[in-house]
Amino acid sequence: MRTLRILLEKEFRQIFRDPAILRLIFIMPIIQLLVLPLAADYEVKDINIAIVDQDHSSYSRQLTDKISASTYFNLVIYTHSYNEAIRGVEKDMADVVLQIPPSFEKKLIKENEAKLFMALNAINGVKANLGGVYLRSIINDFNGEVRLDWLQFPRFNPQPLIRISSINWFNPLLNYQFFMVPGILVILVTLVGSFLAALNIVKEKEIGTIEQINVTPIRKHQFILGKLIPFWILGLLVLSIGLLLARIFYGIIPAGSLLTVYLFAAVYLLAVLGLGLLISTYTETQQQAMLISFFLMMVFILLGGLYTSIDSMPKWAQIFTMFNPVTYFIEVMRMVVLKGSNLYDIRYHLLIVSGFGVFLNSWAIINYKKRS
């Protein structure tokens, strides 16, 4: 026990002596948690729209005003020429074109139907799809308002009116920061756990001190624990800083117990620390460790459900996410913070991540023995 205490004291001194590591541990989480949630927003706003009004009727003006009043659209071109609107798209002035054909109002009244033409700039597919959805929703609302104006009691309305009342559970205001901050916090904890742990051990190889440690009476488990425990503690410290910043700047108060979050994070950190240790056994320089860690982090982030829903991924990607530990922590953080889930609700996630921890640490220890 005394040997482990001395090793831990040595590791903490070495960590806090390096200003680069201190910046990565403390300044990086603060900056990323303050900046990324403001930019990572699934809502698409300020869509530039060009309206080609070839009808110039009261209904066409009413529809135009309704679109202009929306917070999602900016009316940048209002013309009667479709070619002029398309030129606006080609010059990146407009993202969506809505053409209101001649006799729009007349056909709507006499024939009970009228057609509109919508063209979307699909270079940015997400913006085009969401812009089309928003515009269709506005047109449907406009259609409902027109039908309601035509309704004269006790005259029978051939089209039944269905009113929908909705309630948003767990995130009533649909604030995307509440959804993104827990996921970004998981990425920061993962960086500290795997990336910095791998660099720390490889640095010992580069400067030659690990060879000196190998010839000492220090046992392997003491050396490994001395390397992993400091970053396990620092990972929990980063999590605490992130939760505090989320509460101060975004007003995010976990609906569930913080004990649940910390218990899962403690087990999760053991898994990613094992991954960092495994990386260090296959690399000889910090540059190699950085490149491998960067590659793995990109895969973990893009296929972890942080920015893209796992259900919308291809089947092969969904299978891969089952072997991605980041996926489980992101899901648990959102479950506890937004839904108030307890330990029983996350029992399968906890069991799977524990399996990752045993597998990765065992692999790393066995591989380290082979290369010693």
* Mean per-residue pLDDT, 37-51: 80
Q: Is the pLDDT of residue 64 over 90?
A: yes
Q: Is 242 helix (H, G, I), strand (E, B) or coil?
A: helix
Q: Is the predicted pLDDT of residue 150 greater than 90, yes or no? A: no
pLDDT band at 313 (very low <50, low <70, confident <90, very high): confident
pTM of the predicted structure, to 2 decimals: 0.79
- What pLDDT, in 10s, does the model give residues 217-271? 677 777 778 888 888 998 999 999 999 999 999 999 999 999 999 999 999 999 9
> Mean pLDDT, the chain, as a whole number?
85
Report whether pLDDT(370) > 60. Answer: no
Q: Which two tokens stand for residue 165?
A: 């009342």
Omega before 314 within 30 of 0, i.e. cis: no
Q: Which sign does the torsion angle of CA 290, 372, 227, 264 carry?
A: positive
Compute the distance between CA of residue 292 and CA of residue 297 in angstroms, rounded to an integer: 9
pLDDT greater at residue 212 or residue 102: 102
d(CA 276, CA 365): 12
More confident residue, 60 or 154: 60
Higher pLDDT: 110 or 85? It is 85
CB-based contact 79:159 (threshold 8 Å): no
Average pLDDT for residues 333-340, to the nearest whole number?
93
Classify residue 100 by burial, with Cβ atoms within 10 Å: 0-12, 13-18, 19+. buried
CATH class of residue range 47-150: alpha beta
Separation of alpha carbons 154 and 230, rounded Å? 77
Residue ranges per structural domain of the chain: 10-40+175-371, 47-150
Q: Are 67 and 140 in contact (CB under 8 A)?
A: no
Give me the DSSP letters along 174-231.
--HHHHHHHHHHHHHHHIIIIIIHHHHHHHHHHHTHHHHHHTSS--HHHHHHHHHHHH
Tell me the per-residue pLDDT of 152-200, one tens digit each, with 9 for 90 and over.
Answer: 544 545 555 566 677 788 888 778 888 889 999 999 899 888 888 888 7
Kindly report the backbone phi and psi dihedral angles of residue 309, in degrees, each rounded to the nearest multiple of 5, phi listed first.
-65, 135
Considering only CA atoms, which of 259, 243, 237, 251 is closest in space to residue 340?
A: 259
